[in-house]
């Protein structure tokens, strides 16, 4: 694998020492790039910017895995900073099966991000959710194929634990923020990730319902898994933008997806911005040492 990055002179990098693939290192980045925000937000269909948020800097990052979807926007609101990335690029031109998930997640790590909040547009399978509802998923079923889904493809064999794919602490932050901001959130749900870019057949949705999926989208995987491989905390805000195929009589359209996301933007923003103020300085979950015991 190509890559690695320049280390600040005189600073030894324990992260790199623990990994034979040259991992990006927050410590080195702080030395090079100044104090960077520790929180990242990645958002997809219909969510391309956060209104009213100042952009301090644009950062284009090259990674050993190629180019991320877009430049990272270093943002600030009420004295709190975060890094924003548009998953499908600007303008929206990268379909879900062609997103460079590895580069996107690597870029966040390279900037020093420890915790990612993802925004996903999803179809509702469970009859208890309707368009406009928001779910904070706690489980995920990977139905994708052919996506580059690991950073460990070389000599080193790593089996990362994904029993609970979403970070417990980071989900808790979103749920507490929802309460504080008066935004109704469904606390849990299983996200089935399909490959796309086509939408599902009626039979596929019936199958997904039978195996326990509540919502369906196209981008959670391998994003969730790659974040864990880089010991980055990850939680998602899944906005139900439509009933999944066959759940209602209405024909599915991408216009409905984007329009429903637009209507939900204010509530999603409130939850995200509220969450920024609830992020603790130190992480108290297992994500930060996820690679411990994961190597053969």
Residue count, binding to ligand HPA (CB under 6 A): 13
Strand, coil or helix: 169: helix
CA count, 13 A, side-chain hemisphere, 6: 7
State the angle between helix axes of 254-276 and 168-181 in degrees (0 to 180), rounded to the nearest 10.
90
| Residue 257 found at the interface with ligand HPA (CB under 6 A) | yes
Residue closer to ligand HPA (CB basis): 2 or 210: 210
Residue closer to ligand HPA (CB basis): 41 or 216: 216
In the chain, alpha helices (H): 14-18, 26-33, 101-110, 168-181, 202-210, 220-229, 254-276
Among 23, 194, 227, 233, indicate the residue that binds ligand HPA (CB under 6 A).
194
Q: Name 21's Cβ contacts closer than 8 Å, sequence gap at least 6.
A: 1, 151, 152, 154, 156
Residues 75 to 94 in contact with ligand HPA, rule: CB under 6 A: none
State the angle between helix axes of 220-229 and 101-110 in degrees (0 to 180), rounded to the nearest 10.
40
Minimum distance from residue 60 beta carbon to ligand HPA (Å)? 28
Distance, CA of 31 to chain centre: 26
Number of H helices, E strands in the chain: 7, 10
Residues 227 to 256 in contact with ligand HPA, rule: CB under 6 A: 241-242, 244
Minimum distance from residue 295 beta carbon to ligand HPA (Å)? 34
Residue closer to ligand HPA (CB basis): 181 or 254: 254
Minimum distance from residue 93 beta carbon to ligand HPA (Å)? 17
| Residue 122 found at the interface with ligand HPA (CB under 6 A) | yes
Return the bridge partners of 85, or none. 42
| Residue 199 found at the interface with ligand HPA (CB under 6 A) | yes
Residues 31 to 50 in contact with ligand HPA, rule: CB under 6 A: none
Q: Name 283's Cβ contacts closer than 8 Å, sequence gap at least 6.
A: 114, 115, 169, 233
* Pick from 76, 85, 93: nearest CA to 35: 76
Which of these segments, 11-19, 58-66, 121-129, 223-231, binds ligand HPA (CB under 6 A)? Answer: 121-129
Parallel/antiparallel/unpaired status of strands 115-124 and 134-135: unpaired
Minimum distance from residue 217 beta carbon to ligand HPA (Å)? 4
Minimum distance from residue 240 beta carbon to ligand HPA (Å)? 8
Which of these segments, 21-29, 115-123, 144-152, 283-291, binds ligand HPA (CB under 6 A)? Answer: 115-123
Among 216, 224, 287, 290, indicate the residue that binds ligand HPA (CB under 6 A).
216
Among 118, 121, 143, 183, indicate the residue that binds ligand HPA (CB under 6 A).
121
User: Dihedral of CA 167/49/87/137: which sign?
Assistant: positive
Minimum distance from residue 116 beta carbon to ligand HPA (Å)? 19
Binding site residues, ligand HPA, CB under 6 A: 121-123, 194, 199-200, 216-218, 241-242, 244, 257
């Amino acid at each position: 694998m190509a890559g690695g990055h320049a280390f600040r002179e005189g600073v030894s990098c324990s992260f790199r020492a623990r990994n034979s693939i040259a991992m990006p290192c927050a410590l080195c980045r702080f030395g090079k790039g100044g104090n960077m925000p520790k929180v990242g937000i990645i958002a997809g269909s219909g969510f391309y910017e956060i209104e009213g948020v100042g952009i301090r800097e644009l950062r284009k990052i090259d990674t050993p895995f190629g180019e991320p979807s877009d430049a990272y926007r270093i943002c600030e609101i009420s004295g709190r900073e975060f890094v924003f990335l548009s998953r499908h690029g600007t303008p929206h031109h990268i379909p879900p099966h062609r997103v460079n998930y590895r580069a996107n997640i690597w870029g966040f790590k390279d900037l020093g991000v420890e915790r990612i909040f993802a925004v996903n547009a999803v179809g509702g399978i469970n009859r208890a959710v309707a368009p406009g509802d928001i779910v904070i998923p706690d489980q995920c079923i990977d139905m994708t194929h052919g996506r580059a889904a690991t950073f460990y493809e070389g000599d080193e064999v790593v089996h990362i634990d994904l029993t609970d794919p979403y970070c417990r602490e980071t989900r808790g932050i979103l749920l507490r923020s929802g309460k504080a901001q008066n935004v109704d959130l469904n606390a849990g749900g299983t996200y089935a990730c399909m490959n796309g870019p086509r939408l599902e057949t009626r039979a596929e949705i019936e199958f997904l319902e039978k195996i326990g999926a509540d919502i369906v989208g196209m981008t959670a995987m391998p994003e969730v898994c790659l974040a864990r491989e880089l010991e980055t905390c990850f939680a998602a805000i899944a906005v139900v933008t439509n009933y999944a195929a066959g759940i209602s009589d209405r024909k599915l359209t991408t216009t409905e997806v984007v329009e429903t996301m637009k209507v939900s933007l204010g509530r999603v923003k409130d939850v995200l911005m509220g969450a920024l103020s609830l992020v603790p300085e130190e992480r108290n979950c297992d994500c930060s040492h996820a690679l411990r015991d994961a190597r053969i």
